[in-house]
Amino acid sequence: EVRRRSDFSGDDEARAVGAALRLTAEAGQLLSIWRQSPLRVLARLHLVAAATQADEVGRPRQKGEPVDEPLVELPLPDAEEAHGRLDGLAALITAGGSAPALVTAAVVHGELLALRPFTSHNGL
């Protein structure tokens, strides 16, 4: 089963593929929770993607923690701003609304790319 594998080999690209596959397997099970507690789902997905027991896994980054996303060249918001915007994103999702699901998904993905709220695996 894909979720039980920690990675597919020793190189970074293979580990990224493994993380993406684990996320895909996990995401479908979290849809009902997403509508009520999107931050809990994001934390769970980060835990699944990172597949490690490090202290920073499964929670938003704290002040002073670095972000390991070498391919993203956007300025990194500080941890306090990231926390505030994550809370706003969660409020937007739980409030529902009339926007099509594709638009909501685009907003969520855009915010996650801009915020990089976790220390790693934000791009998955």
The string of pLDDT tens digits covering residues 55-90 is 889 999 999 999 988 778 889 999 999 999 999 999
Residue 17: band (very low, low, confident or very high) from pLDDT cuts 50, 70, 90: confident
Mapping DSSP onto H, E and C, the string for the chain reads CHHHCCCCCCCHHHHHHHHHHHHHHHHHHHHHHHCCCHHHHHHHHHHHHHCCCCCCCCCCCCCCCCCCCCCCCCCCCCHHHHHHHHHHHHHHHHHCCCCCHHHHHHHHHHHHHHHCCCCCCCCC
In this predicted structure, what is the pLDDT of residue 14?
Answer: 76
pTM (global) more than 0.85: no
Q: What are the sequence ranges of the domains in the chain?
A: 2-115
Q: What is the pLDDT of residue 4?
A: 55
Mean pLDDT of the residues in the chain: 88
